[in-house]
Every structure is written in C-alpha cells, then in structure tokens.
Amino acid sequence: MRTEELDYSMSLPKFFHQKLIYNISWEDYDLDIKLLGMDSNSRLLTIASAGDHLLNYLSTDVSYIHGVDINPAQIALVELKLMLLKHMNYEVWWELFGEGSSAKKLEYIDHLKPYLSYSSYAYWKKNGHFFSVDGPGFYRYGSSGYLSRIILKSIQISKLDTQIFALIEEDNDANKEALFTDFWKQLSRHWVFKLWLHPWLQYLGGIPASQQQRNTTLVKLLRNAFHHIFVKSDFETNPFWNLYLYGKYQAPYIPWHLSEDGFNTIKERINRLSISHHSMLESGRSDEQYTHINLLDHQDWYKGIDDIRLQQTWDWLNKSDSIKTIMFRSIHPEIPWISLIDQGKFSLSRYSLADLTKDRVATYTSTYVLHTKQ
C-alpha cells in the first residue's frame, strides 16, 4: 500500500475507506468547461470522483482526460460507466444512470464482466442491489445518497417540505425572498437542523474533518447555498439538486452526458478518457504533459499549509513547464495556502459564490482559476 494513500485517507474516518461516497460528481461541469477553456490541444488531469464531469468535458474537443482517485469504489463506478458507454446502448445507459434502477442490473453487470477489472466487477456483483427496482434507486446509495435520505426525512419531520415545493413553484422574486426568509427561520430553529451540523452527517457528504467548519460558519454556508439554489437560480431546471429531491433525473432537465446526443458523442470520444487508482500527486509526477489541472476541492482535504503533501503538490504545479491552467474550489473564502502558489508564474482569479450566478451546485465558497503569465 502507498504511504501517501493511507495518510490521505485519514481525512475521513476509517468507516468510509473504500466506500462509495459520491454517486454523482458534485461539480457544475458546464461552469467548469467555461472556466477551464479547453481546446483540441488540451490535456487534462483531474480527480475521478463519480466521473460525470469527465464525460461532460468530452463535449469539448479536449485531446485527453485522465481521472485519478485513491478510493477504489469511485474508480469502480467510473469504470462501470466507461465500459457501459463502450459496449452497451443508450437505453441501458439511461436505465442505470438516468432512472437509477433496472430489473436487468445483474445481467448488464455480467455482460460487462470481460471488460471490467476484477476489482470493479467484484464490487458491482456485491453492490448490484444499488440499482434494484424495488429499492430506493442508485442515487439513494453511497454515503451522499444516504445523506439525501436523512435530509429529506428530517425535512418531512419538520413539516417544511410543503414550503420547499412552494419555493420551487414561486416565480415572483419578492415572494420567493419572503418565502425563503420564513422557511429558513423555521428550519434553523428546528431540532432536526442540529442533526445537519453533526460531523458524521458531514462525513456522509464527503466533507472531511479538514473542511468541517464551526457551527456558526456552517450555518452561514448552508443559508447562502440554500438561498442561491431556491431563490437566485431555477431549481426546477437544476439537474443536481433536482436529482436529490426526487431520487432520479427529471427529463428534460438532464445533464448532457445522459442525453442521447451526449451518449453518442461520448461513445465516439471515449478513447480520449482514462482513469487510474492513484493520487493526484503521483499522477503529476508521471511523464505525462498535462496542460490543464482541475483539483476540485482536493486541496481542502489536506491538514493545512504545513502539510508536506500540499507543499509537494504546489512544488510540482509551480515547476511544471506544460501546465497552463489550474482550477480548484474551496470551502474557505480565502485559501490559507495562497503563499504556496507562485504568483510570479500564475495570474490568479478568485470567484465567490455571488460571482458565479450560474453555479448550479453552489456549495463551495470560492473558486480559483490560475493561468500562466505570458
């Protein structure tokens, strides 16, 4: 086992090691595409997560994408998606990852056995019930799926579900603001809200100890996120939050990679994409000449500026001759490790949530984009 990998996994309690955490990529990939500015010469390295962002990046003419993850369960999920895209049809794709359930799930998994790695095939033989038609569906599994169940149940208990649907259906901005103010006042004072602040619920959402905030800060973050989602943006057309409310995607408001056109385009370009069970730093030290790096919230998982791995990561990024653009998000309004970035080499742009009005995920306080100076 890699020492670095073991250290990195300590960001979450041992219970979560090798468990599926993210059943979707919790990044607005349409926004990422605009911020990254990739073209036919671009070679991207990023975290694999659930793979949806990797697939959506193929809507551009990007030359090559490599996704890495130290969690084998995330690699198993992305590998299943890639092999399904290569060897099966759109109807199966939509069944499993649009509806999130299929009566033929085990038949599909066995059909893909020759193409899956041994570890990924074993994972899905064990966890095929995630797609059962008589269960809650794929998007209610993984720790983020369990979190959605707990949050929805707690909203029902607090009897605020009717107010949420009223917010979704309201078109008038002033009325939305008033509805939201009343909704938030009731929710934040209810006992179930304290459950949301518990560290173990944050772990379910893939938020490690290094990202967890004091309760007062977390309450503010949650309020800003909910206000952005329910008031500033159109919830009905938002495939990310819509999914967790209903447990499956709601056509026609679906991500590009789940559309038939997206499926066919990805199928043609699938060989431009690869994945591996490695850390970002290990991959960065390879001989591959990447032009673009998307760290997602990878940096927040480290302990802080004194963490040797964080220092080594920026040492690699600062010294690379091929890297032209770097993007990452953070829970911090201002990143504590900014001194590690060579601002003689990179021009740095910081965007707050308020700046990114089209961010449909809206759970990160800041987004950074770095470009090499000419």
Whether 329 and 366 have beta carbons less than 8 Å apart is answered as yes
When the pLDDT of each residue in the chain is averaged and rounded to a whole number, the result is 90
- Residues facing residue 46 across a β-bridge: 67, 294
Share of the chain above pLDDT 90, in %: 72
pLDDT in tens, 4-41: 443 444 456 565 567 888 999 999 999 999 999 999 99
Q: Is the pLDDT of residue 2 over 50?
A: no
Phi/psi at 330 (nearest 5 deg)?
Answer: -150, 150
Gap between the Cα atoms of 330 and 79, Å rounded: 27
Quote the distance between the C-alpha of residue 262 and its chain's center.
Answer: 19
pLDDT in tens, 121-158: 999 999 999 999 999 999 999 989 998 999 999 999 99
For residue 217 the two structure tokens come to 């800060």
What is the pTM for the complete model shown? Answer: 0.93
Gap between the Cα atoms of 123 and 73, Å rounded: 7
Whether 83 and 99 have beta carbons less than 8 Å apart is answered as no
pLDDT in tens, 179-201: 999 999 999 999 988 888 887 77
pLDDT average, residue stretch 83-106: 98
Closest CA to 34 of 320, 358, 265, 300: 358
Tell me the torsion sign for CA atoms 7, 295, 275, 202: positive
Buried-state track 242-262, b at ≥16 Cβ within 10 A, e below 16: bbbbebbbeeeebbbbbbeeb
pLDDT, position 201: 76
pLDDT, position 199: 78
